[in-house]
Amino acid sequence: MSTPLYQYQAPEPTSAQLESLELLRASERILLTGHERPDGDCLGSQAALARILNARGQSAFVLNPDPPEARYGEVTELAEFLVDDGGELPDHDLVVMLDGGDLSRTGRLAPRLESASSRKLVVDHHLHEGADWWDGAFIDTSASATGVLVRRIASHLGAEVDAGTARAIFTTLVTDTGWFKYSNTDQETMLIGAEMLGAGVRPAQIFSDLFQREEAEHPRSLSAALARTAYFGDGRLAVIDLPLGPDGRSSAADGDAALDILRSVEQVEVALIVREIGPARTKLSARSKGAFNVQKLAHRFGGGGHAKAAGATIEQPLGVARLELVEAAVEQLAVTKDRRSTPRSAAEAERRKRGA
């Protein structure tokens, strides 16, 4: 391989981050975990951190509450990935929770993790509420992906990023930035991405592995979901509700793909998918563009996430949850500045400030 054009320089760690690094250095057998239904940021961060620690001669493995989707097969083969079987936790002296700061998001693993005598570390980029339950936290809510934080940790530990680790980290970036198109895409994201290309990542291959392996049913289930689109609040809010199928199973429609299409409509600022997952259980996926904060909306329903991507599990029947969500979202839209009135350039913003 030719000499890489660029090597990433991590920002100076904060004192809390320095303590986190000390925890990592001081541990021998490290259990990495994450949230239920792990996504590409969660799994990629875990694979990358496991490889970084293993290369240092430490023993790191992943234990998740749920199995990974098949699309992440090329990521989970990069480290030891276990799925919880409800039994005793494997021996470990440190737990690292990645891509989530609330232990409850590890689902049924949470009580066993909590009662384990091991020390606890969080590596995350979500807004955290509630008491700190950990011994250390490497948190930066401005990071586009947890993988960015893992890349910083590699720098701080003086670890090499090999081709496998690069693949894992690149997967985290493209998952959480929607392939570098969401507003969280910043210079650090692109610099790390550029560095990963130097380490052997081929973006087209990763795109194909992640996003071009749908089942034959995918276009039809997506179109059935999109046909349920309803608009509220002068078209600024788009909602798709997905009832259980005739077989009693929740819809298999790809929510992310549908949410992308809803947001492609010019006047849509908030897109919601409400999916029935049981008789009194509804899952919300919320996305926004412009100023609307979906984390705030999800929080009202017991969920969380980021300003532009959030979710919640609501203990209500689909119809009730949908009604309450629409009401809350329209209410919040009323106090959110209309996207069309948002200045498109710095020069325009300056003109408006001067009242011109």
146 vs 336 by CB, closer to Mn ion: 146
**What does the block give as tokens for 322?**
């949908």
41 vs 269 by CB, closer to Mn ion: 41
Residues with Cβ < 8 Å from 109, sequence gap 6 or more? 33, 63, 64, 65, 84
CB of 248 to Mn ion, least distance (A): 31
Q: With beta carbons less than 8 A apart as the criterion, state whether 275 and 283 touch.
A: yes
140 vs 176 by CB, closer to Mn ion: 176
CB of 40 to Mn ion, least distance (A): 9
Helix, strand or coil, per DSSP, at residue 191: helix
**What does the block give as tokens for 70?**
């098949």
Helix, strand or coil, per DSSP, at residue 77: coil
41 vs 241 by CB, closer to Mn ion: 41
41 vs 195 by CB, closer to Mn ion: 41
Name which of 231, 256, 262, 227 is nearest 330 in CA terms.
Answer: 231
CA angle, corner 48, sides to 29 and 130, nearest 5?
A: 75
Interface ranges with Mn ion (CB under 5 A) = 41, 99, 146, 176
Report strand pairing: 281-288 vs 270-278: antiparallel
Tracing tokens 């081709």 back to the chain, one arrives at 163
CB of 145 to Mn ion, least distance (A): 5
CB of 87 to Mn ion, least distance (A): 28
Helix, strand or coil, per DSSP, at residue 59: strand
CB of 272 to Mn ion, least distance (A): 20
CB of 259 to Mn ion, least distance (A): 16
